Amino acid sequence: MRLTLKIWRQPDAQTKGAMHTYELDGVSEDMSFLEMLDVLNEDLISKGEDPVAFDSDCREGICGMCGLMINGQAHGPEVTTTCQLHMRSFKDGDEVVIEPWRADAFPVIKDLVVDRGAFDRIIQAGGFISVNTGSAPEAHSVPVPRDDATRAFNVATCIGCGACVAACPNGSASLFMGAKVTHLGELPQGQPERDARVVGMVAQHDAEGFGGCTNIGECTAACPKEIPLDVISRLNWDLHAALRHGH
Amino acid sequence: MTDMPDTTLTGDPSHDAPGHEHGDDAAGYYTPGAPIADTKAPGGPIDERWSTRKFEARLVNPANRRKLDIIIVGTGLAGGSAAATLGEAGYNVKSFCYQDSPRRAHSIAAQGGINAAKNYKEDGDSVHRLFYDTVKGGDYRSRESNVYRLAEVSTNIIDQCVAQGVPFAREYGGLLDNRSFGGVQVSRTFYARGQTGQQLLIGAYQAMERQVAAGTVQQFTRHEMLELIVVDGKARGIIARDLVTGEIETHLADVVVLATGGYGNVFFLSTNAMGSNVTAAWRAHRKGAYMANPCYTQIHPTCIPVTGSHQSKLTLMSESLRNDGRIWVPKKKADCDKDPREIPEQDRDYYLERIYPSFGNLVPRDIASRAAKNVCDEGRGVGPEVDGVRRGVYLDFSAAIERLGRAGIEEKYDNLFDMYARITGENPYETPMRIYPAVHYVMGGLWVDYDLQATIPGLFVTGEANFSDHGANRLGASALMQGLADGYFVLPHTIRDYLADGPFEKVDENHPAVVEARKSVEDRVAHFLSTNGTRSVDSYHRELGNIMWEYCGMERTEDGLKKAIDLIRTLREDFWRNVKVLGTAESLNQSLEKAGRVADFFELGELMCIDALNRRESCGGHFRGESQTEDGEALRHDDQFAYVAAWEFTRDPDSESEGMGAPVLHKEDLVYTAIEMKQRSYK
Ligand SMILES: Cc1cc2nc3c(=O)[nH]c(=O)nc-3n(C[C@H](O)[C@H](O)[C@H](O)COP(=O)(O)OP(=O)(O)OC[C@H]3O[C@@H](n4cnc5c(N)ncnc54)[C@H](O)[C@@H]3O)c2cc1C
Ligand code: SF4
Ligand code: FES
């Protein structure tokens, strides 16, 4: 198939960017979206033009490195990561608009590549269980009800891609935080630090310039791992409980 | 140890292909060197060696630790766990990764699970059995002391991960669940649905971020190590490029740890991440670290087949699927393009169950892969024809769906089934999956002793980047175990013996060795940007990958390997003269990053072929066409090859700075005291 691609080009963080249009022919439906961009880049290189910079690593939907706004949707039209989106979701003659994540807390580095360092700093502020290596008790000493373990797992699947932030009109990272707070809060091991965790993470979130949650729900619709909206209720609930406990 | 249907190995070279003159296949391609040995493993009974070593390794007092700088390159299971643990101990850690966050290291992609000798199932498992299975699975080409230790610390890993909040699968009673994996007959694999690597890595990542907050670990993301700094014979730092600004940075330390993962991308197509590379290890190799058994490659049997020339990577379908899926191809070639559901039972060849009745679909990976290649070579493959051959076999879940119900299968594998459907556009609940082997893991890597120290003092290597634990073939769910064993429980003990002599004299940034390392990186960058050639980096990489897959893949022969070496050398020359890298050095430049990685893959590829050429035996993932039994099974030659091939880099004086000369081969004899060497049999 033949596509018209409109792609955001920006040489670096300081320089202003703009949309550029490219025509690409010979796209097969078995290609992944990023393989389609690889083909474009080979084409650009052969013409002596700078290839389009975009992030990807695992290309199997698990590392969270990739992420593009495709026709205004984070990760494009399917519920999956950009790297797992395949060209069979498009048809001959389509126009495809490709932009980077747009959020104050994710500044553009180049073209479609953004800086998501803020996510690491949110985790540093409390997204862990403090247990030094070697000090753990025997694994079976604390049984965990199967349903709790399953619920924890279901939200622990967050890949930290940032689509939730990109999709949110407020640029909030509440879904990302809610997923972590729920993952650790569902488990007995996570209880001792539950209050400190949520307070620390939320404070860092706000300091990074992410916006507040107004319950729009675009985040969960864009999330490739289908993290449910109720993790945000859980986040708020835990935050209020922590504040009540005097944090 | 006598519970397996093994036959004692004869090692009789007369089993070799008839008419062959037994010479030295690799003569002329290498120089013989002095033998090498591990001097760190204490003697004595195997189950006491690790305790002895931990006791004998000197301590560093807590006040001194914060004066000691440790560089750890890599944030996967091996590097992330080490950074967290050494940070907790109070050392000053600098951690590097090329991705934008430590959490994205390729360990994240591991699906199936992690082994541990917990024996929660009371099915006869034990440390000794895990040790035995791993040595046997590795086809008796690993070092027994290291493997025993791995089995020994495996149980601590599970405890640690559970305490960190890793949500392993559990049974209704709230206790941990296990599954079984290829090559073993007990259930000892812990898992978190099909995302075990992700969950373990997030645990290590969170532990590491906690240390970042505590100020003991400094993280450098989007940084790529491009050179090792060796001063007075000791590893003292690295040269790294900030991938965002392009700045070439010097980082100095008392000790350097490489946890940089595997080099499967030398084949271009593999299940590795796009950025997985050999550069860190190869730069260390060029500086004096020996590379061990580089030709030992694991070709994983269950990956999604190639669809066309645009393909950028291959996707694994976890081996755990072989627990419930049955592998087959049509008996008749004429059936190969039929709808599989219409082929009656009696016309299907469940070839693994037929050839290996006692292990069936759960034979080790190397055996399953070669069997798939054989049936496709016979013309009984399925799926679309690529270059005139159908390269695929069915992995069929219909019996399992009948037995467990669709919900039962969803619970175990839903993410894998979804991924398959997304990539192929076919629904595996309704029609059998199609799979084919792909490059997945490398057992080879930098040579290390029992302390995980390379041949350069002060350089330690952990995880997939070293060679030590898996011999010629790795069993499923053992790499995650090794990465975390190395990082949480082994390295933190062994590194202190080295650091007990520190802090070492500070190295000046103007020291000639530092200046030289920096300059070589700058020169390389400048070279690529000024070549102005005509071919893209990817096009070279793809061509190199094809050569490797064709001649150094699932089956290797003397003629093929020699041809590959010629082809690689010619292509490498052309690459240096004719590669086209656009853009600048002072910004994010992905072509430039790739050019450096591919340059190193070229040299590695040649060494892999030389190693494969030298090893005229079949063992584990290394199958030499000249060394097989009458029914086509791999044939080892313990009398000639029961050694680790540790290669030393030499420079070709006639070539320009990047020139690679004939490597020097150092042999480490493998001696087994706790286990008897046998010819593997899974029949
Ligand atoms: C798809 C897949 C599935 C797997 N499934 C399983 C499984 O179920 N069970 C199992 O036991 N094993 C499995 N394996 C194998 C296992 O996942 C890996 O061997 C293991 O995770 C490697 O861990 P590591 O820490 O050594 O390296 P990695 O996790 O690959 O980490 C490498 C690190 O090094 C960094 N790095 C590399 N080069 C440089 C450089 N030059 N400069 C700076 N940083 C650098 C990277 O940024 C990264 O942080 C699987 C592998 C794959 C590919
Ligand atoms: S919550 Fe979903 S969208 Fe947000 S970072 Fe996690 S996986 Fe991505
Ligand atoms: S590249 Fe890893 S999730 Fe897309």
DSSP A107-122: -EEETTEE--HHHHHH
The pLDDT of residue B12 is: 41
Question: Alpha helix locations (H) across B503-557?
Answer: 512-530, 537-551
| CA atoms within a 13 Å half-sphere pointing along the CA-CB vector of B50 | 19
Interface A-B: count of C-beta contacts within 8 A: 218
Our mutation pick for probing the ligand 3 site, out of A57, A80, A116, A225, counting the most ligand atoms within 8 A of Cβ, is A57
Q: Is B252 helix (H, G, I), strand (E, B) or coil?
A: strand
- The class (CATH top level) of B300-439 is alpha beta
* Contact indicator for A175, A164 with CB cutoff of 8 Å: yes
Give the position of tokens 């556009």.
Answer: B425
**Between vectors from CA B340 to CA B337 and to CA B341, what angle results, nearest 5°?**
145
- Looking at residues B520-528, what average pLDDT do you find? 97
* Environment class of B384 (CB within 10 Å of its CB; exposed 0-12, middle 13-18, buried 19+): middle
pLDDT higher at B537 or B180: B537
Question: For chain B, where do the domains classified as CATH 1.20.58.100 start and end?
Answer: 509-669
The CA B106 to ligand 1 mean position distance, Å, reads 4
The pLDDT of residue B264 is: 98
**Between vectors from CA A241 to CA A239 and to CA A247, what angle results, nearest 5°?**
75
Task: Tell me which ligand sits closest to the C-alpha of residue B470.
Answer: 1
Tell me if B582 and A48 make a contact (CB, 8 A cut-off). yes
Indicate whether B587 pLDDT > 80.
yes
B149 counts as catalytic: no
- Looking at residues A80-89, what average pLDDT do you find? 96
The pLDDT of residue B364 is: 82
**Which residue out of B149, B322, B365, B636 is catalytically annotated?**
B365
Nearest CB neighbour to A139, from listed B159, B199, B539: B159
Indicate whether B175 pLDDT > 90.
yes
Q: Which protein residue has the closest C-alpha to ligand 3 atom 3?
A: A61
Cα four-point dihedral sign B615, B619, B620, B625:
positive
Residues of B whose CB is below 8 A from A101: none
Average pLDDT value for chain B: 93
- Looking at residues B226-253, what average pLDDT do you find? 98
Residues of B whose CB is below 8 A from A157: 195, 198
Indicate whether B4 pLDDT > 60.
no
DSSP symbol at A51: P
Position A122 confidence tier, pLDDT thresholds 50, 70, 90 = very high
Tell me if B209 and A128 make a contact (CB, 8 A cut-off). yes
The pLDDT of residue B656 is: 59
The pLDDT of residue B683 is: 74
Indicate whether B331 pLDDT > 80.
yes
- Looking at residues A189-209, what average pLDDT do you find? 98
B298: tokens are 């694991």
Q: What is the pLDDT of residues B80-134, one digit of tens each?
A: 999 999 999 999 999 999 999 999 999 999 988 999 999 999 999 999 999 999 9
Position B10 confidence tier, pLDDT thresholds 50, 70, 90 = very low
The CA A55 to ligand 1 mean position distance, Å, reads 18
* Contact indicator for A154, A226 with CB cutoff of 8 Å: no
A92's CB contacts (< 8 A; 6+ apart) are: A1, A2, A3
Nearest CB neighbour to A140, from listed B176, B274, B422: B176
The CA A175 to ligand 2 mean position distance, Å, reads 7
Average pLDDT value for chain A: 97
What percent helix, strand, coil does chain B show, rounded to 5? 40, 20, 45
Nearest CB neighbour to A55, from listed B100, B167, B172: B100
* Contact indicator for A233, A213 with CB cutoff of 8 Å: no
Atom of ligand 3 nearest to the CA of A224: 3
Percent share of chain B, pLDDT over 70: 96
Angstroms from A172 CA to nearest CA on chain B: 20
- Looking at residues B244-249, what average pLDDT do you find? 98
pLDDT higher at B181 or B105: B105
Position B388 confidence tier, pLDDT thresholds 50, 70, 90 = confident
The CA B76 to ligand 1 mean position distance, Å, reads 6
B509-669 adopts what CATH topology? Answer: Methane Monooxygenase Hydroxylase; Chain G, domain 1 (1.20.58)
The helix or strand, by DSSP H or E, that contains position A22, with its residue range, turns out to be strand A18-24
Q: What is the pLDDT of residues B545-562, one digit of tens each?
A: 999 999 999 999 999 999
- Looking at residues A36-48, what average pLDDT do you find? 97
Atom of ligand 1 nearest to the CA of B224: 42
Task: Tell me which ligand sits closest to the C-alpha of residue B106.
Answer: 1
Q: What is the pLDDT of residues B140-173, one digit of tens each?
A: 999 999 999 999 999 999 999 999 999 999 999 9
With a 6 Å cutoff on the Cβ, whether A158 touches ligand 3 is no
The pLDDT of residue B533 is: 96
Q: Strand A18-24 and strand A3-9: pairing?
A: antiparallel
Question: For chain B, where do the domains classified as CATH 3.90.700.10 start and end?
Answer: 300-439
Q: Is B390 helix (H, G, I), strand (E, B) or coil?
A: strand
The pLDDT of residue B22 is: 54
Domains of chain A from N-terminus onward: 3-110 (3.10.20.30), 117-244 (1.10.1060.10)
* Environment class of A107 (CB within 10 Å of its CB; exposed 0-12, middle 13-18, buried 19+): middle
CA B189 – CA A242 distance, rounded (Å): 38
* Contact indicator for B136, B182 with CB cutoff of 8 Å: no
Indicate whether B19 pLDDT > 50.
no
Indicate whether A119 pLDDT > 60.
yes
Residue count (chain B) = 683
Position B539 confidence tier, pLDDT thresholds 50, 70, 90 = very high
B510: tokens are 């103007």
**C-alpha closest to that of B111 among B22, B214, B10, B198:** B198
